[in-house]
Amino acid sequence: MKKRTGNRILLVANLVLTLVLAAVLVKTGYLSKTVRKFTGAHVPVTETDHYKLMVWLHERPISQALASPDIQIAFIGDSIIEGWLTSNILPNSLNLGISRDTTPGLIARAKPELIAHVPTWYLGIGVNDALAATPPEEIAGYVAQLKTMFMPAERLIWRAVLPVTDASWTAEMEAFRTAFNTAALQACQEMANCTFLTPPDGYDENIVNWTSDGLHPNSIGYRQLAQQLCTEVSCSP
């Protein structure tokens, strides 16, 4: 009898430990990450360490911006925004770029109270959605969410997804970029506060000289983006 009781206790203990371990794996996302690793499925940007770190690092400048009227423009988007020294052309600016960010990632972290507080927003997003093989049918929904999200802003400068020249850039990705830009342009035209910026003149033809890798602008590329922006807002001399 004692042996049977001991076996039952051991069985219950093992079952409880298994359930606790399973709950921990699910809560931490380890299980889903492992499945994606073996299946080759895409990992959402919001689950990456870099995204989480940058969101945390942005918390303090965001809180300071909300407490002050000094910030006149905020930049939000992916690595092209993150790598841009925006304070060099607009001292009273806030850079909220995050490398590898996607449209869902941006939507998840954008703060409505900050959008309403900062007068002008510069939005650049979409290239990583193409790189992640996002289904084209999801474009309309994402763009509609961006439109609704930035409607309260006094002004929105929505920059098109820039051209890409890279061996890994496929025809499907280019089709996605074109479709995303078309949807973004249409949404912007329906907003009273929005200005849509196509790639700077000559960007497509000079992409080899204006980028470091066929995607990210180099100093020349950023100068072109700055010159284009400064036709819309007053920049530092």
Kindly state whether residues 21 and 109 are assigned to the same domain. Answer: no
Kindly state whether residues 53 and 6 are assigned to the same domain. Answer: no
| 237 inside domain | no
pTM for this prediction: 0.83
Q: What's the pLDDT score for residue 18?
A: 55
Kindly state whether residues 90 and 68 are assigned to the same domain. Answer: yes
Burial of 50 (0-12, 13-18, 19+ CB in 10 A): middle
Kindly state whether residues 15 and 63 are assigned to the same domain. Answer: no
- 85 is in which domain, residue-wise? 45-229
Q: What is the domain-level CATH number for residue 77?
A: 3.40.50.1110
The count of structural domains within the chain is 2
Q: What's the pLDDT score for residue 35?
A: 32
One-letter amino acid at 210 equals: W
| 114 inside domain | yes
**Do the beta carbons of residue 97 and residue 111 sit within 8 Å?**
no
> 């990210």: which residue's tokens?
216
Q: What's the pLDDT score for residue 33?
A: 42
Kindly state whether residues 53 and 155 are assigned to the same domain. Answer: yes
Residues in the chain: 237
Q: What's the pLDDT score for residue 36?
A: 37
Low-confidence ranges of the chain (pLDDT < 50): 20, 22, 24-26, 28-41
pLDDT tens, residue by residue, 199-213: 999 999 999 999 999
Kindly state whether residues 51 and 35 are assigned to the same domain. Answer: no
Kindly state whether residues 129 and 172 are assigned to the same domain. Answer: yes
One-letter amino acid at 70 equals: D
